[in-house]
Amino acid sequence: MENSPAVIELRDARIMQDFHTVLQNVSLTVAKGEFAYLVGRTGSGKTSLLKTLYADLPLPEGMGTVVGYPLQKLAEAKVPYLRRKLGIVFQDFQLLYDRSVAQNLLFVLQATGWHDRAKMKQRVQDVLMRVGLSSVGTKMPHQLSGGEQQRVVIARALLNEPVLLLADEPTGNLDPDVTDGIMRLFLEINNAGTAVLMATHNYDLIHRYPKRVFRCANGQVAVINNEELRIKNWEG
């Protein structure tokens, strides 16, 4: 499985919230190094699908593999190993506001098995540099703008060199020009080899940076073709 060209593979998967089916017969593949969007109206199931991919929701039916880990028989104890190979970026930043940016990142390194203090500090510096924020380590998150906080979240997601980034409306709370900078950062990360699956409502972004688009609608997931993408009510 480790050598599989896919970082996400779902076959006839059912996505559920509690006892309610959100999506069914979901079959999709995201290749190593691919960039793909996930779209759909509010409540159509994008977040639920992403949560299933990082094992926050169980996979009750069908088959799924994410970065080599089979979701349908993933023991609780294996979930941290899956998460270590993933980067997860949410719309609401979910930083820890009682500690500095560097401490936020060190906290994650500690929680994922790093021990060597010097290497940890170096890694923090490396990821902050990567997102264009090399001098903010000592600042508190609330001292940063929304765009900068989102960059810190992306830095945090990069700490363990993920092969896949899952992003749930990462630009949902940001101004258009800040959104563009964040999008470019995702593209840079993708160009360096990390696959990205990004849920978004941002139609402009998809037009400006065209990639494969999966749409959640009517309890199903389908790839949207270019023709459909030109139609205005593409979320429909």
Ligand X SMILES: Nc1ncnc2c1ncn2[C@@H]1O[C@H](COP(=O)(O)OP(=O)(O)OP(=O)(O)O)[C@@H](O)[C@H]1O
Q: How far is CA 121 from CA 23, 93, 185, in A?
A: 42, 22, 22
Whole-number minimum distance, CB 181 to ligand X, in Å? 22
CB 115 to ligand X: min, Å = 36
Shortest CB 235 distance to ligand X, Å: 9
d(CA 38, CA 228): 14
The Cα 42–Cα 108 span in angstroms is: 31
User: Mask 205-224, x = binds ligand X (CB under 6 A)?
Assistant: -----------x--------
- Nearest CA-CA partner of 73 in 61, 86, 88: 61
d(Cα 35, Cα 15) in Å, to the nearest integer? 22
Confirm or reject binding of residue 200 to ligand X (CB under 6 A): no
Residues 147-186 that bind ligand X (CB under 6 A): none
**194 near ligand X, judged by CB under 6 A:** no
| Residues 38-77 close enough to bind ligand X by CB under 6 A | 40, 42-48
Q: What angle do CA 14, 18, 23 make, to 5 degrees?
A: 25
* DSSP single-letter state for residue 123: H
Binders of ligand X among residues 1 to 40 (CB under 6 A) are 17-18, 20, 22, 40
Considering the complex, state which of residue 2 and residue 18 has its C-beta at the smaller distance from ligand X: 18
Where does this chain bind ligand X (CB under 6 A)? Answer: 17-18, 20, 22, 40, 42-48, 216
